[in-house]
Homo-oligomer: A and B are copies of this chain.
Amino acid sequence: MIMDNIDSKILDLLTENSRMSYVEIGKQLGVSRVSIRDRIQQLVNKGIIEKFSVVINSEKAGKNVSAFFEVDCEPKALVEVAEALVNHPYVASCYQMTGPSTLHMHVLVEDMGELENFINNELYALEGITRVESHILLRRFKSRSGLKL
């Protein structure tokens, strides 16, 4: 078994507040501070916890437009295109999926003008891209922070 029940509860608490002290976590779960510290160390060592981080509200931080892209590439160029895209600060994530041979990419920009500029001057300028499809976030029903997609 990867994690026992107490590990899961520790992850739940840290997901909601990663600055919670070992003492407080221990109190809530009825376990000693030392045991909590050791278990968290184990979760980090096993790579289950990748990092302690913050969830930033992108709109409130000035990124008003959240766009999803399907990027069609010449098959031979796909990995190279992906590696170029992931270096761009607007690109939040970039995946290869089953289905069509496209890259699936999430982009956060300040406004539509910045998006148009990104598409025409940066995305379309890359070698090996044959077609792009973009969509813009209308409504966020759920966005779970914590678990990496």
Contact A138-B96, Cβ < 8 Å, known A55-B49, A143-B149: yes
* Contact yes or no, B16 A51, CB < 8 A: yes
- Chain A interface residues (CB < 8 Å from chain B): 2-3, 11, 14-19, 46-58, 60-63, 66-68, 72, 74-76, 78-79, 82-83, 85-86, 91-101, 103-104, 106, 108, 112, 115-116, 119-120, 123-126, 129-149
* Contact yes or no, B48 A56, CB < 8 A: yes
* Contact yes or no, A92 B144, CB < 8 A: yes
Contact A98-B99, Cβ < 8 Å, known A129-B75, A149-B108: yes
Q: Nearest residue in B to A128 (C-beta to C-beta)?
A: B75
